[in-house]
Structure 1
Amino acid sequence: MGVFTHEMEVSSPLPTGKAFKSFVLESDTLFPKAAPFAIKGVEYLEGNGGPGSIRKVTFVDGWGFDYLKEKIDDIDQDNLSYTYTVIESDLFKNIIEKISYETKFAAAPNGGTTVKVTTHFYSVGDIEIKEEAVKDSLEKRARVFKAVEEYLLANPDA
């Protein structure tokens, strides 16, 4: 199994607590509202959102893939970190076995938040995964992140 790792750091004007709550704790209800161009719905197949839970994210037609199933590995509210693993998706196409995400939220000097995301793409067998192969997936994830951020800024009580 080969592993391709991608690190990304983004800044958000959202306060750290609001960012963590929105992007982690309330993502199942918030993402379909904030990014209806991408996400059709989120449903829990097992569990209630804590570690060990499995949820299915369904995407709109034309998004490039239809669904993914993710297992929540850990949610640490004290350290504002979240880890989960995409365990199934029609995106994989017998090339990717799984994708794991480690996300950390930290207060930024301007009162906003710095979000650091480390993504590990695990390939099937000895297939080498290159950044070009996952670029579309990473760009789509960034578009959803930005849409959620914009939704929250426009709807501060959301």
Structure 2
Amino acid sequence: MFGTLSEEKEFKVPSSKAWELFSTLELAKVLTGKVCEAIDVVEGDGGVGTILKITLKPGLGFEYYKEKFTKVDKENKIKEVEVVEGGFLDLGFNLYRIRFEIKEDPSDKTGGSSCIVKTTIEYDVKEEFAANASFVSTEPLAAVLSITKEHLEKSAN
């Protein structure tokens, strides 16, 4: 069973500034202590193939999961990560992918001072675990967007 969910938010910073954060390991530093206990680099330097171990706060459903950067497209400002260990894979999922897309804000009349950050979850769950699809939520991504938006907009001032 395949599904997708997405969430987007306007950021009052240029898309290049948002991309600097989302495309690098800097994102992990901003999120550590807020949406997770720790984010450790297992392998890599932030490019494709980088693997992170995300240790979650107690009560969030999983103790940890590992994700791998599968796409870092600088030209189109798209980054994709896939869970490769733990997390949703332990609940019968074949695939759990998160995509970050950063686009110019079409309603920005001042030219380049704001952007839209869209996050998309793509998942595939084995039929016998189809009920577990109900655990997929954009709530964690909404929290990530709120934290990063606040961080970027504060640092822009």
TM-score (norm 2): 0.81
User: In 1, Cα distance between the equivalents of 2:76 and 2:88?
Assistant: 31
Counterpart for residue 144 of structure 2:
144
User: In 2, Cα distance between the equivalents of 1:144 and 1:132?
Assistant: 20
Whether 2:52 is the aligned partner of 1:60: answer: no
1:84 CA drift (Å): 1.5
1:54 CA drift (Å): 1.1
1:28 CA drift (Å): 2.3
What is the aligned length? 151
Identity among equivalent pairs (%): 23
Which stretch of structure 1 is more off in the superposition, 10-19 or 87-96?
87-96
Q: Is the 8 A contact 1:38 1:63 kept in 2?
A: no
1:29 CA drift (Å): 2.1
1:126 CA drift (Å): 4.7
Counterpart for residue 115 of structure 1:
117
Q: How does 1:97-112 map to 2 (within 5 A)?
A: 97-108=94-105, 109-110=107-108, 111-112=113-114
1:11-41 CA deviation, whole Å, 9 max, x = no partner?
2222211111112212122221xxx232222
Say if 1:37 and 1:30 are closer, same or farther in 2 by CA, change over 3 A. Answer: closer
Counterpart for residue 126 of structure 2:
124
Q: Is the 8 A contact 1:87 1:97 kept in 2?
A: no
User: In 2, Cα distance between the equivalents of 1:104 and 1:80?
Assistant: 6
Q: Give the 3-state SS of the residue equivalent to 2:130 in structure 1.
A: coil
Counterpart for residue 30 of structure 1:
30
Q: Which amino acid aligns with 1:151?
A: H
TM-score (norm 1): 0.81
Counterpart for residue 94 of structure 1:
91
Counterpart for residue 73 of structure 1:
70
Q: Is the 8 A contact 1:39 1:58 kept in 2?
A: yes
Q: Is the 8 A contact 2:23 2:46 kept in 1?
A: no
Say if 1:38 and 1:117 are closer, same or farther in 2 by CA, change over 3 A. Answer: closer
Q: Is the 8 A contact 2:66 2:84 kept in 1?
A: yes
1:58 CA drift (Å): 1.4
**Structure 1 vs Structure 2 CA RMSD:** 2.3
Say if 1:77 and 1:96 are closer, same or farther in 2 by CA, change over 3 A. Answer: same
Q: Unaligned 5+ residue runs, structure 2?
A: none
